[in-house]
Amino acid sequence: MLRQTLQEAGLHTLNVGLTKSHITELKAILAREPELHKQLSEFLTMREKPDIDVIAVTHGPGLEPALWVGINFAKALSLAWDIPIVAVNHMEGHIVLPMMEMTKSEHSHILQNMRMFGRLKQIDFPVLALLISGGHTELVLSKQFGTYQIIGQTRDDAVGEAFDKVARLLGLGYPGGPLISHLAEEERSRGDALGPSKASPQEFKLPRPMLHASSAPASPRLRRAWQSSGGPRENNFDFSFSGLKTAVRKIVEANSPLSDEMKSGIAREFEDAATEVLVKKTLRAIEEYGANTVIVGGGVSANTHIRRCLAEALEREGCPSLLVPPPELATDNAIMIALVGYFHALKSDFADPALLTAIGNLRLA
């Protein structure tokens, strides 16, 4: 990947590169990746430092073994090229990417690469970001660029994880999100009921977990007790999708073997339920915090139905503008990490390689 990237960027210059002392230091950094050390040392020995100023690397959240490989690779390149490192929270990447106006180079068809140019849009703060992926479901408030406050998050399954688990219950493949959406869209286009004639719509009605806010008791004494206990679970901006998955499992078990029509009906009802929760929680948070811009990021932001329903709801309510990434850049990608790295580098917000570690549960705030 490094070789291909430098070639496509026109930075692949053959020349004398690493010294023997550098190679020894690289071996210590890549002690847990001996094959990577071997190939990288050979590669860097024959190439001079490219015209690169900063290395941006994800240090969380995520699976720590995978994060460590990337971090150690970045440390090795930082040592070999004598350039600083920016440690990036990849959830920030999902927020920053939709803020950009990006276009491909006019020469992209000749270079056959993804070289892109862009600039930051005029953003009207506060910004409310809905981050939805296989590992996260969060509502994040940003009052100014680069500052974040998590105001809601999932208490169990993330929405993308729920899509995958429901797809597995229906005997579909992986990743489950696109497969569920495909069946649901087919069902909507047919305009059929949620299931075959032998099943009533009620059998396919799924819950909308943690959706409805409850009002505080009228009595001052009871209200104080209610507030001290945190109020009912629904009276916040958190999410829960585990119960929704369990409800699907019960329907599947009660109606097995499932016909294709039943699978489509369940897929549609599940996607409708998850979407309704996401949209209504987002609208409530907009009202509560006075957000002027809404961002949707993460792999599930590529879901056509969720995008459509949220856009329609915002338009009906006269709510803020909606920013979403291009579908092909909705999932984790290097472009969003480079963007965040760029903005941190402008502030000289560099990491100490000796202290840089993988943090699997890294939070934005």
- 3-state DSSP call for residue 144? coil
Q: Is the pLDDT of residue 210 over 80?
A: yes
Q: What angle do CA 331, 158, 208 make, to 5 degrees?
A: 125
Q: Which helix (H) or strand (E) holds 297?
A: strand 293-297
Query: Which residues lie across from 293 on neighbouring strands?
Result: 127, 321
Q: How far apart are CA 45 and CA 60, in angstroms?
A: 30
Extract the tokens encoding 111. Answer: 């270079």
* Section 15-25 average pLDDT: 70
User: φ, ψ for residue 229 (rounded to 5)?
Assistant: -90, -5
Q: How far apart are CA 96 and CA 329, in angstroms?
A: 12
| Amino acid identity at 337 | I
Burial environment of residue 154 by CB neighbours within 10 A (0 to 12, 13 to 18, 19 or more): buried
Q: 116, 97 in Cβ contact below 8 A?
A: no
* Section 191-200 average pLDDT: 47
pLDDT for the residue 99: 96
Let me know how long the chain is.
365
Question: Would you place residue 270 in the very low, low, confident or very high pLDDT band (cuts 50, 70, 90)?
Answer: very high
- What domains sit in the chain, N to C, each tagged with a CATH number? 2-118+335-346 (no CATH), 127-319 (3.30.420.40)
What is the residue whose two structure tokens read 């829960």?
240
pLDDT for the residue 202: 45
* Section 260-275 average pLDDT: 94
Q: How far apart are CA 324 and CA 327, in angstroms?
A: 8
Q: 118, 68 in Cβ contact below 8 A?
A: no
| Amino acid identity at 329 | L
Query: For 166-188, how does the pLDDT look when each residue is reduced to its tens digit (9 = 90+)?
Result: 999 999 988 889 999 999 999 99
Q: How far apart are CA 74 and CA 95, in angstroms?
A: 23
